[in-house]
Amino acid sequence: MKLCKKTFCSLDNLEKTTHTAKEAIKNQDLNQLALVVKEIKGLKSALGSLKNQLYTDTLTNLYNRKWLMEHLLDDGTFKNEGILIFIDIDNFKPINDIYGHVIGDKVLQYFASFFKVNLKKMDVVRYAGDEFVAISNNPKMEESFIKMKKIQEDLLSKKLKLSNGEPLCLTFSFGLTRFEKGSNFRDVLEIADSLMYKSKKQKGSQRGR
């Protein structure tokens, strides 16, 4: 709702500025034109801010699904080749159930910051809930896989605690697959999701041994 109001306000201001510019040009009023230029710069900045809000997830400040659909895809297919990595936080529902949604939100924010630091050369998107998508332009599957395994280990090595001192172990599972220019996004995502689920299931069976 706030975004809509800001958009309408910016459009209204743009209309007024356009009218003022026409009058200034008609009257050859240089002072008025200088004010118009200043107003246009302000509008440009405001529209840039609105664009960022439109494509940013409010909780994590990562790109959102709309950004992915409009920047990386063309009618549901990839504009370029690369590797898609589908990431899912392990045991996120129990974290929400045991500690509450406030802690759950902080966990999502922590993961967002963690991915930003460790996947700097990738586009990272909060896809839905506790699911993230990372897009790599590196065509080498093995390098991307090794990198993801490394940051899994890095996360495990971190000693995280709640405010009451209780330790909190955070892990994630992932699946990755290559895609070509023109590949269907849904098909690629389904493959990566299946591989992620297989990895998650394997973790569960190893813990049960």
pLDDT per residue over 182-195, tens digit each? 999 999 999 999 99
Q: Tokens at residue 22, please?
A: 């026409």
Contact 87, 133 (CB under 8 A): yes
Among residues 78, 89, 97, 108, which one has the least CA distance to residue 180? 78
Q: Tokens at residue 110, please?
A: 């922590």
Say which amino acid occupies 124: V
pLDDT of residue 53: 73
pLDDT of residue 139: 82
Measured CA to CA, the distance from residue 157 to residue 171 in angstroms comes to 10
In sequence order, the β-bridge partners of residue 56 are: 63
Mean pLDDT of 28-55: 67
Cα-Cα end-to-end distance for the chain:
51
Contact 108, 57 (CB under 8 A): no
How much of the chain exceeds pLDDT 70, in percent? 75
pTM: 0.76
pLDDT band at 7 (very low <50, low <70, confident <90, very high): very low
The tally of CA atoms less than 13 A away on the side-chain side of residue 47 is 11
Does 90 score more than 70 pLDDT? yes
pLDDT of residue 6: 45
